[in-house]
Amino acid sequence: MDAEQARIMQTLGGVNLAAHSVQGGMALPPPHGHDGTDGDGRKQDIGDILHQIMTITDQSLDEAQAKKHGLNCHRMKPALFSVLCEIKEKTGLSIRGAQEEDPPDPQLMRLDNMLLAEGVAGPEKGGGSAAAAAAAAASGSPTDNSIEHSDYRAKLSQIRQIYHTELEKYEQACNEFTTHVMNLLREQSRTRPISPKEIERMVGIIHRKFSSIQMQLKQSTCEAVMILRSRFLDARRKRRNFSKQATEILNEYFYSHLSNPYPSEEAKEELAKKCSITVSQVRRDISFSSVSNWFGNKRIRYKKNIGKFQEEANLYAAKTAVNAAHAAAAAVQNSQTNSPTTPNSGSSGSFNLPNSGDMFMSMQNLNGDSYQGAQVGANVQSQVDTLRHVISQTAGYNDALGGNSMYSPHGLNANGGWQDATTPSSVISPTEGPGSVHSDTSN
């Protein structure tokens, strides 16, 4: 910094008196209007004074102060000052216009924009990683994207912190240096002519110098963010298959909700959690969005080629039917021991995947009648859903176009879309009692 300072100081005012006059052993060249008619004595005087000025730096501070005071009080000081003013006026012309207001650097603007977009510069997004982590810990559902990329966020936060610390350091240094130079110039302006404009220009030079350093900082920060991005966010696209267990869980849900395979937010969360727990921790977590993706893909691919999924559907239908039967048996047993006036006790609203019979509780039986108040009724709809493929094979049920089949009030309609895809069955079902629960919208 000292060398830099010296270099800047060297350019102060654009005039190097030493080089021009003193060190060369020559007297100050006579300015216009002053042709040196006062004689050699005065020239010598000026030469002495200049020499004294130039040698100040070699002396101790106290000595220099004394010398300076002496100079200021010198009888020739006003005359010398006016001479210097004139020299300044002349040389100033060549400087003027050389350093005009430069337009904002496009590259710097790009860097600024990028840093802003990446959340490194500007207001912190989402309260930072610490806040995000705290929020996630409080909610207890580590399934959203913020958690999925918590590592990325943490790293980004680190970069952000370093960037701001460095930026602050630079700004502080810049301010300190500017203040220092300004004080120096003000001090010098007592012995040599320095206009406020010149000081301003000097400050501009310093700021430009510092902003070029800042640009380097911004550049390296951008690079760091880019590297981070490629390591984390872009890695999202790298596909890794879900584990068998996870696919099984998702398929179970899908085929047991074939009439309306649109899991609610809660169901998705539950599924994501379930999959992540079941799946070995080596594999990455199946997030909320992964579940959404999976169901999106599944719906579209199932619809596109139902025949291809027939076998799979049957498999899961049978599997779920067994579960449902077990659940029904348990429920019957339960109803015998418990009061029949307490329906759904202990099972309503619980999202229990292995016991998928509890998952779809619209209380509709095969004929569309309701089983209000009977717990076993809760399992019927899921049986309808999961057994549809089995039935269809023997009773000519067309899963894709059989929207009006008596076996299914839902399913794919003639347009190729799922009926009730936008309207929850609990809303349109005329037979559903107020106490009934659709697990898709509960939990």
Partner DNA sequence: TGGCATGATTCGGT
Partner DNA sequence: ACCGAATCATGCCA
Residues in touch with DNA (CB under 7 A):
236-242, 247, 262, 265, 289-290, 292-294, 296-297, 299-301, 303-304, 308, 416-418, 421
40 or 265: whose CB is closer to DNA?
A: 265
- CB of 437 vs DNA, minimal distance in Å: 19
Q: Which is nearer to DNA, 177 or 309 (CB)?
A: 309
Q: How far is the CB of 239 from DNA (least distance, A)?
A: 4
Tokens of 163: 């960037």
Q: Smallest gap, in angstroms, from Cβ of residue 146 to DNA?
A: 14
d(C-alpha 136, C-alpha 143), whole Å = 9
Residue 75 or 238: which CB sits closer to DNA?
Answer: 238
Angle in degrees, CA 234, 236, 241, rounded to 5? 145
Find tokens 């070995």 and name the residue. 280
Distance CA 230, CA 66 (A): 64
CB nearer to DNA: give 180 or 244.
244
Cα distance between residue 316 and residue 311, in whole Å: 9
The residues facing 370 across adjacent strands are: 364
Rounded to whole angstroms, the Cα distance separating 246 from 286 reads 8
Name the minimum Å distance from CB 171 to DNA: 36
Contact 388, 411 (CB under 8 A): yes
The one-letter amino acid at 351: F
The burial of 56, by beta-carbon neighbours within 10 Å (0-12 exposed, 13-18 middle, 19 or more buried), is given as middle
From the number of C-beta atoms within 10 Å of its C-beta (0-12, 13-18, 19+), residue 106 rates as: exposed
Spatial separation of the C-alpha atoms in residues 158 and 161, rounded to whole Å: 5
How many angstroms separate the CA atoms of 314 and 91, rounded? 94
Q: What's the distance, CA 62 to chain centroid?
A: 56
The minimum distance between CB 263 and DNA, in angstroms, equals 8
DSSP 401: T
Closer to DNA at the Cβ: 169 or 304?
304
Three-class HEC string of 125-139: HHHHHHHHHHHHHHH
Q: Which is nearer to DNA, 302 or 371 (CB)?
A: 302
Closer to DNA by Cβ: residue 172 or 297: 297
For residues 419 and 411, is the Cβ–Cβ distance under 8 A? yes
Min. distance of Cβ 390 from DNA in angstroms? 21
| C-beta closer to DNA: residue 32 or 239 | 239
Choose between 51 and 284: whose C-beta lies nearer to DNA.
Answer: 284
CB of 368 to DNA, least distance (A): 24
Residue among 208, 194, 200 at smallest CA distance from 14:
194
State the nearest-atom distance from the C-beta of 290 to DNA, in Å: 4
The distance of closest approach from Cβ of residue 298 to DNA in the complex, given in angstroms and rounded to an integer, is 7
Q: Cβ of residue 237: shortest distance to DNA, in angstroms?
A: 5
Q: Of 190 and 308, which CB lies nearer to DNA in the complex structure?
A: 308
For residue 334, give the nearest of 322, 324, 347 by alpha carbon: 347
